[in-house]
Structure 1
C-alpha cells in the first residue's frame, strides 16, 4: 500500500493561520520520517477554516524542509488560471526539487461566483474549458509540446487530474495523465471511475496509468477512541457545508452541541466519505476499498482538532501497511 497525505490545512479554533502553517511544515517532516511517500496541498478560498490557498507555495516550503518526500497539489483550480502560467509554476518547482514534484489540477471553481470571478480576474466561468486547458497544460509541461513553458527542466513533473466519476476518469485516460478520485468528496462512483480510467488509458503524457484515491481516515487506539476524535471532524465538515465558521472545533465543543435530526443524518451520510476506527477496522476497510477500486495508492486527510492525535493517527495507519 502506498500512502500519502492530502492537506487542506484545516485550522483549529484558537490557532492562527501562522501557527497552522508552522504546524503543517512540522507535520510534513514528521510523516516523512514515518515513510509516507507524498504530501499534497488542496486549494481553497474564502473559507475561514481552510488555510491552504496557494498549493505551489506550500509545496515549495515543504520540499525545502524535507529530503525525499514528494510534494503535490490536490488540486490547483485550473479553470480560473492560465494553463501556461500554471505550467511555469510546476516547472519552476521541478527545477528546484527534481523528481519530487507532482502536479495535480481540478475543475472546481474554488468558491461562490464572486470568488471565482476574482480568481479569474473577472473572466467568464471557464469550467467547460477544463478539457482544453488540461490538454494545453500537458503540452506546456511536456518536452513533446510545440510550445513548452519555462524553465525547461530535464524531466517533467507527473501530471494528475482530480475527479469524482467516470467523465473525469475518461478525460485523464484519453490524455494519458494520472488520475485521482476524490472519495473524500463523493464516494459513490469510485469503482466505476477507476475502472474507466484503467480501461481507456492511452499512452500519452505518462507511459502507464497512475491512479490514486483520496479519503478521510482517522485511526484511533480503539474504535471508541476514533469516534471521539472524529467528532471534531464531523462538526467541522457539517459547518463547511453550511457555510458556518469552518475552523475545527475541539472534541469538547463538538460533543456538547445539540444536533437536530437533519444534521445527524448528514453526519451519517458524510461518514461514507471516511474510514473511522481502531487499527483493525481501518486496515480491513481500506484493504477492502483498495480491492474494490483496484487501487493501492492513497492520499489521506485527517482534519481533527488535536495535532498530536493527528500525528498518532498517521503513525497507526503507517504501522498497519508498512
Structure 2
C-alpha cells in the first residue's frame, strides 16, 4: 500500500496564513522523510481558513525544499482557466523537477458564484465544458490535439520530453468513466462523499483504456485519517475536525478551532447526525485500527494508494498522526 498526503493548508485559529504555509513546507519534508509517495495541495478561494489558493506556486515551493516525493495538485480547478495556460504551468514545473510532478484537475466552481466570476473575470464559462477542457489539456501536454482543432498549431512550452501525468479528481461514476476512457489517473474523493466510491472505482478499472498519458489504470482514494496512540487521544483530536467539517457544511467559516473552543454539549440533534454521517468520510483511531480499516477499504476499492488528509487543530499532533500511520503501514 502506498500512502500520500493531501494538504488544504487549513489555518488553525490564532495562526496566520504565513505560518500555515510554512507548516505546509515542514509537513511536506516530514512526509518525504516518512516515506509518503506524493504530496498534493488543493485549490480554494475566498476562504478565511484555507491558505491553498495557488497550487502551482505552492508546488514549486514544496518541490524546491524536497528531493524525491512527488508533488502535485489536488486539484487545479480547470473550469475557471485556460487548458493551454495550465499545460504551460505543468510543463514548467516538470522542467524544473523532472519526474516529480503530478497534475490533478477537478470540476469545481471554486466557491460562490461571485467568487467564480472573479476567477473567470466575468467570463461565462460552462462547468459542462469540463470534458472538452480535459481533452484539450491532455492534447496540449502531449502535442496531440486533433488536426482540425482550432489551436492545433499552438504549442505548450517549454517543450519537454516527459510531460507530467494527468489525474482526474471525482466523486461519481461519470467522472470515473471519463478518466478511464481518456486513460488518465483517477482520484476518488472519499473524504468528500464516499457514497459512489465502490461503483466509481469499479467502472474506472473496468473501462480503462491506455492512452498517451498512461498505459495502465492508476487510482487513488483520498480519505480523512486521524491516528493517535490511544482511541481516547484520537477522539480528542477528532473533535476539532468534526467541528471544522460541521462549520464548513454550514458555511460558518473554515478556521480550525481548538478543542477548548468547542462545547459538544451545545451540538443540536441535527449537528450530531451530521457529525455521525461525516465520520463515514474518516478513519479515526490507533495505528492498528487505522491500518485494519485501510486494508479493508483497499480490498473494497481495489486500489493500492491512499491519499491522507488530516485537518486537526494541533500541527504537532498532525505530524504525529502521519508518523504513526507511516510506521504502521510503510
| TM bin (shorter chain) | over 0.9
Shift of 1:255: 4.2
1:221 aligns with 2:229: yes
Counterpart Cα distance in 2 of 1:20 and 1:181: 26
The Cα shift of 1:254 comes to 2.3
Give the Cα separation in 2 of the matches to 1:155 and 1:174: 22
Q: Does 1:203 align with 2:221?
A: no
Task: Give the SS at the match of 1:203.
Answer: coil
Quickly say closer, same or farther: Cα 1:212–1:148, change in 2 above 3 A.
farther
Closer, same or farther: CA 32–257 of 1 in aligned 2, 3 Å: farther
Aligned-residue CA RMSD (Å): 1.1
- The separation in 1 between residues aligned to 2:31 and 2:60, in whole angstroms, is 17
Query: Which residue number in structure 2 is paired with residue 185 of structure 1?
Result: 192
The residue number in structure 2 matching 1:8 is 8
Which of 298, 303, 321 matches 1:295? 303
Please report how far the alpha carbon of residue 144 of structure 1 lies from its aligned counterpart in structure 2 after TM superposition. Answer: 3.5
Q: Distance in 1 between matches of 2:263 and 2:166?
A: 41
SS of equivalent to 2:229: coil
Correspondence list, 1:3-152, <5 A: 3-145=3-145, 146=152, 147-152=154-159
Alpha carbons 1:79, 1:130 under 8 Å: kept: yes
In structure 2, distance between residues paired with 1:233 and 1:125: 34
Structure 1 gap ranges (5+): none
Instruction: Give me the whole-angstrom Cα distance separating, in 2, the residues matched to 1:178 and 1:141.
Output: 15
Output one character per residue of 1:176-216: Cα deviation in whole Å (capped at 9) or x when no partner. Answer: 11110000001011111111001111111211111111000
Residue matched to 2:149:
none
Distance apart, 1:298 and its partner CA: 1.0
8 Å contact from structure 1 (residues 20, 51) kept in 2: yes
Residue 104 of structure 1 aligns to a residue in which SS?
A: strand
Question: Which residue number in structure 2 is paired with residue 314 of structure 1?
Answer: 322
Deviation at 1:165, TM superposition (A): 1.3
**Secondary structure of 1:91 counterpart:** helix
Q: Aligned to 1:194, what secondary structure does the other structure show?
A: helix
Query: 2:180 is matched with which residue?
Result: 173
Displacement of 1:63: 0.2
CA distance in 1, matches of 2:187, 2:117: 26
Instruction: Give the 3-state SS of the residue equivalent to 1:192 in structure 2.
Output: helix
Report the TM-score, using the length of structure 1 for normalisation: 0.98
Contact 1:212/1:295, CA 8 A, preserved across alignment: yes
Any runs of at least 4 consecutive aligned residues in structure 1 with deviations exceeding 2 A, and if so which? 143-148, 254-257
Q: Deviations over 1:111-148 (max 9, x none)?
A: 01101111111112421000000000000011444553
* TM-score between both structures, scaled by the size of structure 2: 0.96
Whole-Å Cα distance in 2 between the matches of residues 191 and 210 of structure 1? Answer: 15
Aligned length: 322
